[in-house]
Chain A
Amino acid sequence: MTHALSTSFVTRVPGWPRNVAAIALFALFVPAIASAQGDGPRTYWKGLSGTNVIPVIYTTISGNTNPFDPSHTVNADGNISATLMLAGFAKVTAVGDRAASVQVLFPMGSLSGEAVVDGKTYGQSAGGFGDPMLQVGLNVVGPKAMKALPDLLRYEPRFSIDLIGSLAVPIGEYHSDQPLNIGQNRWYGRIGAPVVYQIGNWAPERRTTLEFLPAIWFFGANNDFVGQTMENDVLFQLEGHLTHNFTKSFWGSLDAAWYSGGKATIDGVAGAKLNNAGLSFTAGYMINDNTQLTVGFGSTLGDNKPEDLRLSQFRVTLIYGWHSLVEGVKRLGGN
């Protein structure tokens, strides 16, 4: 073959450091607490320890349940529309050799519609701040935590399992005289075990994953639900995602979710338990090394009966991530 001169060495490393910053952004732990899509695709990919993430999620939702309430208690014949916004902060860290994360998410927004409680129809609207949710996650199976840039460069999820725990703090805006609220006036949370399975090569332009999130939601009692007590059984939620990169920056996902349980009991009168599924599509685009935009639409399936969960949503997520080391490299203008 031919022969050429090598005049620049360190500065001509393909993929460096752009891919470093880009991968760091995948360290996102963004539970969408009121989403037909669940937490969403690519939520449990790992990032460099020390990465900071701010997600901002905008969702419009319509259906027969309060989207701010993850128990998805069905209001048969109800018709509720909501505009939901979530903002949060997540920090990627490590516990020993395992990747870990801590995050907090603040829901806010407005909703309006009709709800039927004890035979009485309420037509109302609500707005304000919801219940903030705290979540911690710990990887238990899969690659070790990425504590240094070489770990990040070599990261492939292969097969990973995390354990997560979420807890919502009932300090959101709540009015006991109306059934539809932003805050839920009760403690609730979940435990889950997100799974990421890598399919094929990890080349950025063709990454493919199959992801699952089995989770169980627990709900405390709301002792002042329009003057009554509302309780919910535990709710089992399973969401799945088949994700694929079409280019290095653009990816898509086919998402499915299944809900079972969560039967609501209001003042001793039990409702129906959920057994519903949803399907959605998500497209994601890396705007730059720090910013990712995703757009998704999802809807429940087989929701013709009044007692079926009926939920349709359009969701836009903007995620900004940074790591002090990568930002420092950028400030120096270096490659």
Chain B
Amino acid sequence: MNWLVTMLGIVGATAFLGGPAAAAAQDAPRRPNIVIILGDDLGYSDMGVFGSEIRTPNLDSLAKDGVRFTSFYTHATCSPTRSMLLSGVDTHINGLGNMDEWAAPNQFGVPGYEGDLNDRVATLPALLKDAGYHTYMVGKWHLGKAPDRIPAARGFERDFSLLDGGGSYWDMMSFTALSPRSLFTEDGRYLTKLPKDYYATKTYTDKLISFIDANKGDGKPFFAYVAHQAPHDPFHLPKDWRDRHVGQYDRGWDVLRKERLSRQIELGVVPKGTSLAERMWFLPDPFVLAPATRAVFGRKMELYAGMVENMDFHVGRLIDHLKKIGEYENTIFIVFGDNGAEGADLFGMIAGAPGTRDFLFAAMNWSKTDPKSWGEPGSYPSYGPAWAQVSMTPFSQYKGMTTEGGIRNALIVSGPVVKRPKGSINGGFMHVADIMPTLLEVAGTAYPKAHNGHDLPPLIGKSWMTVLAGRAESPRTDQDYMGWEIFGNRALRQGDWKLRWQWKPYGTGDWELYNLASDPVERTNLAAQNPDKLKALLALWDEYANANNVIIPSRSMFESADDKLPQRFPDDAGYPPIMYHGQFVPPAALIKK
């Protein structure tokens, strides 16, 4: 059966790529290679072409050769996004109804909540492999560790993968006493040691280049999933990448957000008149912080910027290599971040409280806390909510939330399938689950009804081919909708309207309604003013939840947030004035001599 699918796929691809298959058999261009570059926790505005001051010339070059999408959605956390990318199926069906680390008691044992990419879905690499593609993966997997869940078992012909959700960039050190070592696989074998001179971003790139070269010239296209660990914390970084922005971020997050927004407007990434989402209510205006405090916090962002630039450098190495071997022009690049930027204190959570086992583990292995040690093995620098909001400029909040800052990300697509003007920008409503049907279409294959003896659930995404060809502005109509749920936080978007529920105090603990056309940063809850729209979207939510077996978790990491976080007040600029009043200088003529 597979050979038939493959043949049909090749014929289909040939037809798609221009011209009757029979007549063009000799001259037909080879099917394009596909490279997906995923930045772990990379924020919406962290690339230069999306408004960043961080220098990303190589990623920018892909955007200038291709198209930027400004309304692209992932999920709010990483493994759910990855599961949809690789299966095209909703998280509550594909096994990531909740993150493995946070499955709630009422979700235990429920199909769709296994915590890994279950075997009831077909994977993109498996289908592409069946369609005649070489399939390579490097980087972070985070979709299961068992032998039947690792990349080699899910369709990747070659891989070098970190199975965990994170870890040291320098070695196999992981985060907790019970799971002290990160798990890696290479070509389906679990590793006991890492290559000499291992540094995650560099090694992943080296490996991928070696995979590509190993099969170069055999006539088959390749699909490469480059799931960089960067720029996820800890911000482990070679020394020569740490000091490229010294002092630049001392000005604080508010200034950086304003600057990024200004550039985004100038670039056309967001429309004129777009405002910034409110600063998280528990964050200070950096204006009131002492210079040294700003320097310490600025250092964190300096390192983050270095992480992004280092990743960009290695992406550049890959691009250069593809150019050198003559494959660049025939390669589709898809670049995006897997969720909102990370605003949480993961290390604080991992290390736990004094007296606990994990605290002791952290004391032994992760206690290099001095800013001068940041970037070294044993350090755990991360940048916190203030800088995460900068990364998500102009949107609200960050990773883990179903605000736009949690689920909306920057997307670049380039390559032979893009017929839009080079460097153009599109605002169509795109979703990570669209990538599966898009790439199956590129490969000239189809989503099967069954795979490995299982009937397959339907794809939830829509192919982008008409959009990439410039024949449509969005793969969705105004009636199409997409839903999200993680940790109990929920959202649904249909057209310009967005329904949202978030735990207090991140949300109201009730359904909220926003119009993203007029309020993309979700400042004004319109639920009370638009009861009919609210009701209509709630009906769609019920439809979504029923269709996808959404089980609202009985426990959540946010369940005590309202007790732990400061009471929420608006971030009214300039309030209270006493914080901003300078020394009064009387007129010189009235000063007593």
Contact = CB atoms under 8 A, between A and B. Distances in A.
A203 B165 CA distance: 27
B424 interface: no
A4 B346 contact: yes
Interface in B522-563: 557-558, 560-561
A304 interface: no
Nearest to A203: B373
B367 to A, nearest CB: 9
A227 B159 CA distance: 89
A2 B102 contact: yes
Nearest to B349: A4
Contacts of A149: 290-292, 295
Interface in A145-198: 148-150, 152-154, 156
A6 B165 contact: no
Contact of B372 (A4, A7, A17, A204): A204
A13 B368 contact: no
Contact of A6 (B295, B344, B558): B344
Interface string A26-63: 00000000000000000000000000000000000000
Interface string A192-227: 000000000111110000000000000000000000
Contacts of A154: 246-247, 295
Contacts of A153: 292, 295-296, 299, 371
A15 interface: yes
A5 B565 contact: yes
Contacts of B376: 201, 203
Nearest to A17: B292
A204 B349 contact: no
Given A15-B370, A16-B293, A201 B239 contact: yes
Contacts of B557: 2-5
Interface stretch (B281-289, B326-334, B439-447): B281-289
Interface in B64-95: 77-78
B295 A19 contact: no
A15 B371 contact: yes
B385 A12 contact: no
Which of B102, B373, B487, B565 is the most central at the interface, judged by chain A CB atoms within 10 Å of its CB? B373
B345 interface: yes
Interface string B476-490: 000000000001000
A13 B296 contact: yes
Contacts of B373: 201, 203-205
Contacts of B299: 153
A213 to B, nearest CB: 25
B284 A9 contact: yes
Interface string B336-378: 0000001111101110000000000000000011111100100
Contacts of A148: 291-292
A3 B294 CA distance: 24
Interface in A124-139: none
Contacts of B560: 5
B167 to A, nearest CB: 10
A3 B487 contact: yes
Contacts of A12: 345, 348
Nearest to B557: A3
A227 to B, nearest CB: 59
A12 B348 CA distance: 9
B112 interface: no
Interface residues of B, number: 54
B346 A2 contact: yes
Contact of A9 (B385, B400, B564): B385
Contact of A5 (B239, B293, B564): B564
B403 to A, nearest CB: 13
B384 interface: yes
A13 B372 CA distance: 13
A248 interface: yes
A47 to B, nearest CB: 15
Contacts of B292: 16-17, 20, 148-150, 152-153
B295 A150 contact: yes
Nearest to B79: A1
A266 B41 CA distance: 78
A14 interface: yes
Contact of B282 (A6, A16, A150, A203): A6
Interface in B366-399: 368-373, 376, 379, 384-386, 399
Contacts of B295: 149-150, 153-154
A14 B385 contact: no
Interface centre among B77, B284, B368 (most CB of A within 10 A): B368
A153 B372 CA distance: 8
B306 interface: no
Contact of A1 (B283, B294, B346, B369): B346
A15 B565 contact: no
A201 B236 CA distance: 14
Contacts of A14: 369-371
A203 B101 contact: no
A10 interface: yes
Contact of B369 (A4, A15, A17, A150): A15
Interface in B551-593: 557-558, 560-561, 564-565
A20 B166 CA distance: 31
B296 A2 contact: no
Contact of A15 (B101, B232, B291, B296): B296
Contact of A19 (B284, B344, B372): B372
The 4 A-B pairs at the shortest CB distance, nearest first, are namely A149-B292, A14-B369, A150-B295, A4-B349
Given A6-B384, A201-B376, 10 more contacts: A2-B165, A6-B344, A7-B282, A7-B564, A9-B282, A9-B384, A10-B284, A13-B293, A150-B292, A153-B299
Interface of B: 41, 77-78, 99, 101-102, 165-166, 232, 239, 246-247, 250, 282-284, 289-297, 299, 342-346, 348-350, 368-373, 376, 379, 384-386, 399-400, 487, 557-558, 560-561, 564-565
15 contacts: A2-B165, A2-B346, A3-B77, A3-B487, A4-B346, A5-B565, A6-B385, A7-B565, A9-B284, A9-B384, A16-B292, A150-B291, A154-B295, A201-B239, A203-B368
Interface of A: 1-7, 9-10, 12-17, 19-20, 148-150, 152-154, 156, 201-205, 248
